[in-house]
Amino acid sequence: MNEHYDLIIIGSGPGGYVAAIKAGQLGKKAAIIENRELGGTCLNRGCIPTKTIMHSSRLFYEAKNLQEAGIEVEGLRFDMNRIQERKEEVVSRIRKGIKSLLEANKVTVISGTATIMDGHRVRVIQNSAQEENTNQEPRELSGDNILIATGSQPFLPPVEGISQENVVTSDQLLSENDFKYHNLLIIGGGVIGIEFASIYQEFGSQVEIIEAMDRILPSMDKEISQSVAMSLKKKGVKIHTKSVVKRISKTDQLLCEYEDSTGTHFAQADGILVAVGRKANTRELFSPEFSLEMEGDKIKVNEHFETSKEHIYAIGDVIKGIQLAHAASAQGIRAVENMYGKKQSIELSAIPSCIYTYPEIATVGLTEEEAKAKGYVVKTGKYPMLGNSKIILSADERGYIKVVCDSSNNKILGAQIICPRATDMIGEFTTAMVNGLTAEDLGKVIRPHPTYGEAITEAAEDVNGMAIHIFPKGMK
């Protein structure tokens, strides 16, 4: 039997389920197809599990250093089984919330694997048939529009020995109930690698990072990259940049052979995390008689998220661009609005990026170097957090806030923050950019004292040399 919907969505991650809810709010009959757990990678194997475990590792690390605040703790230990149980509790609670939202907006949820047959037809092999290996007939759906939101999965490079035991991806590492890796080697110094480096370092493991580029976090502002590298090294993390992994072998431990400009080197570890990037989930998504125009492993779309075939759209990690949950959600809303001729309700020009290390990192818009490369004459304001009262009283690590402005009108082009709560603070700069605000506009706001956020005032006012609480050079 053929079922017809206004919109068929493949994938229930932050892009897919938000798009489905938006369609429901517009009065459209929507169906969402998911071949794994509701909530996609972000909820089940990405953002939420990682940050939940990071919350535990941070508390453990802080507890080990409570003497500075006058508190003595004896017999401190962590229980990875309980940490994993709590992670599952958090994930389950959020998954139930998503299910309730979809039900409230009358979205049909179908558990199975989808194959796009043409511009209006999708075939679904339901999970019960797959698991039981029955001859159950595939479910046939038709839709006025189809939205692809299938996300991505960890990429494994073609390195000799990469498939052996204890060489893992982030998916596998997040599900470990035993704390197996007291010596962890991480291949890849991007966001995923750096966050796991922080987790394992805080739990007391020896951590080593191998990065092919000339610095860790190569997509971030150079000063942020340098600050994070300095902080990690200070805590005992070894970092090798401009280094290429050649092979992985096994003796008593795993042995990773890598090369840099000085020759061949070896690193030993109990476990190796491969975190060199992700690839789009498009395998077997299309029938043999149907295809879309691609850009490598990504689906090509236009500014409206339309693919090369009419009535088929794609968003999130499956297309080129920034791979972030909140970006996928925004794209999902925009795609649905474009399908049905609705006014655009969300601005995509300023998408913040966050890294949940300690201290946290958050950026939005252009760095100073990027702005200059685009032809802007820039002015910058910077506030070193060593003068922030909340940083001092909390015994937090130093950081800074930097704001980049167009010198012709002082409008904000971008901002970079490295300090506690940076991921919560970046929203102010994102709001300013979307609304065309200037550094003066940000400086007018009264922010409470003592807070990390009052440093935003100082950074904004420093654009014109008017900051009050920036210590003179050399003063600490």
Catalytic residue numbers read 449
CA pair distance 361, 354, nearest whole angstrom: 6
Q: Where are the beta strands (DSSP E) in 93-236?
A: 108-116, 121-126, 139-148, 152-154, 167-168, 183-187, 206-210
> Which string of DSSP letters, residue by residue, matches 113-143?
EEEE-SSSEEEEEEHHHHHHT--PPPEEEEE
CA pair distance 184, 208, nearest whole angstrom: 6
3-state SS, residue 154: strand
CA pair distance 57, 63, nearest whole angstrom: 10
Tell me which residue has tokens 């003592």. Answer: 450
Angle at 396 between CA 194 and CA 232, to 5 degrees: 25
Query: 82: how many CB neighbours lie within 10 A of its CB?
Result: 11
Q: Where are the beta strands (DSSP E) in 385-430?
A: 400-406, 412-418
Assign residue 408 a region (left: φ > 0; alpha: ψ between -120 and 50; beta: otherwise). Answer: alpha
Pair 39, 45: CB distance under 8 Å:
no
